[in-house]
Amino acid sequence: MGYKVALVGATGNVGREMLNILDERSFPADEVVALASRRSMGVEVSYGDRTLKCKALEHYDFSDVDICLMSAGGAVSKEWSPKIAAAGAVVIDNSSTWRMDPDVPLIVPEVNADAVAGFTKKGIIANPNCSTAQLVVALKPLHDKAVIKRVVVSTYQSVSGAGKDAMDELFSQTKAVYTNSELINNKFPKRIAFNVIPQIDVFMEDGYTKEEWKMMMETKKILDPKIKMSATCVRVPVFVGHSEAVNIEFENPISADEARDILRTAPGCLVIDKREPGGYVTPYEAAGEDATYISRIREDATVENGLVLWCVSDNLRKGAALNAIQIAECLVNRKLLQPKKKAA
């Protein structure tokens, strides 16, 4: 007997990827229901070789749903996640709404899978920000070996992190440049075509942006609250795949060779690190893949026990949809959740 899975936000970038991944990984679902706003009711989405018609969230009865994947933004999650959890489904939420709630586990299965058991407090599990997920997958095995004291990270984030309209904006602006027509700028604070923008999300009082704040706070919650961190998040004209340049200071010595060996066998990591032209991974190669790719591992001689590395991952997959399905798999594999509908 399998699970009944509801997906809220089925028509978005991440929602569609969730359906692909549920199918690719043969998630033990007897039934998958696609839900969306009333505006998207009736829109068809693919789930493997099946087509699902979106139903309206507002009218849906969740009483026989086991797992609800929420990918509909913060406002929808704030209103609906507690109601859906109260109906008895475990909510795995992709928005930032619940991430810092002490009664909601924030999970990256390669890093803190044991914490998933805490879902019983509110019935909600949070999925991290995409730029955090790939970072902690790369940091965890190094932290276990040499204890991380401080991280300085600069991101190069693709436009798909900002949604489908943002991808369309990069496309249409690029076309406008070549056709010498007017550039229309709605989704980003400055033009994104042939440009980079050092602002993702709104500014906070201390001058960091909310995206940077999320990376710093989420890394502490998932990996270790003692880690000091400074992030600069930058939007780049890439469609899919976030990249990060990461400087790490450790408590104990660790060489680049040791780090490379550790990361080669670490869960979720794939090391491609040849010191030759092209011997590293770029977002173009990481798009559509599941791994967090790590390249350019080297010692940083400007600090004691320092390393620098480059890390790239598909932000829609490991950064969102894949991580959410891996959380659902944790619940199933650890027998923390039984299907409500028993075999007749």
Residue 12 marked as a ligand binder:
yes
Task: Tell me, yes or no, if 242 is annotated catalytic.
Answer: yes
Task: Say whether residue 157 binds ligand 11C (CB under 6 A).
Answer: yes
Residue 8 marked as a ligand binder:
no
Nearer of residues 152 and 159 to ligand 11C, judged by Cβ: 159
What is the smallest separation between the CB atom of 211 and ligand 11C, expressed in angstroms?
6
Task: Say whether residue 70 binds ligand 11C (CB under 6 A).
Answer: no
68, 151, 162, 330: residue in contact with ligand 11C (rule CB under 6 A):
162
Print the binding letters for residues 229-248 with ligand 11C: x by CB under 6 A, - otherwise.
--------------------
- Name beta bridge partners: 151: 229, 248
16, 140, 149, 214: residue in contact with ligand 11C (rule CB under 6 A):
214
Structure tokens that stand for 127 in this block: 């999925």
For the chain, give me the number of helices (H) and strands (E)? 9, 14
Task: Say whether residue 200 binds ligand 11C (CB under 6 A).
Answer: yes
What is the smallest separation between the CB atom of 325 and ligand 11C, expressed in angstroms?
16
Q: Is 233 exposed, middle or buried (0-12, 13-18, 19+ CB in 10 A)?
A: buried
Residues 77 and 232: their CA atoms lie apart, in Å, by: 27
Structure tokens that stand for 39 in this block: 């505006």
Catalytic residue among 54, 68, 130, 233: 130
Residue 39 marked as a ligand binder:
yes
Residues 204 and 219: their CA atoms lie apart, in Å, by: 18
Residue 161 marked as a ligand binder:
yes
Q: Which of these segments, 154-162, 270-278, 282-290, 326-334, binds ligand 11C (CB under 6 A)?
A: 154-162
At residue 296, what are phi and psi to the nearest 5 degrees? 55, 40
Distance of CA 304 to the CA centre of its chain: 31
Q: In this structure, what is the dihedral angle of CA atoms 150, 311, 252, 100, given to the nearest 10 degrees?
A: 40
Q: Which of these segments, 37-45, 63-71, 129-137, 140-148, binds ligand 11C (CB under 6 A)?
A: 129-137
Structure tokens that stand for 47 in this block: 């789930």
Catalytic residue among 242, 269, 311, 330: 242
> Are 218 and 128 contacting, i.e. CB atoms less than 8 angstroms apart?
yes
Task: Tell me, yes or no, if 143 is annotated catalytic.
Answer: no
Q: Which of these segments, 125-133, 143-151, 171-179, 291-299, binds ligand 11C (CB under 6 A)?
A: 125-133
> Are 73 and 97 contacting, i.e. CB atoms less than 8 angstroms apart?
no
What is the smallest separation between the CB atom of 310 and ligand 11C, expressed in angstroms?
18
> Looking at this protein, which amino acid is placed at residue 6?
A
Q: Is 42 exposed, middle or buried (0-12, 13-18, 19+ CB in 10 A)?
A: exposed
Residue 315 marked as a ligand binder:
yes
Nearer of residues 157 and 305 to ligand 11C, judged by Cβ: 157
Structure tokens that stand for 12 in this block: 């978005």
Report the binding-site residues for substrate.
157, 235
Contacting positions for ligand 11C (CB under 6 A): 96, 129-131, 157, 161-162, 200, 211, 214
* Catalytic annotation, residues: 130, 242
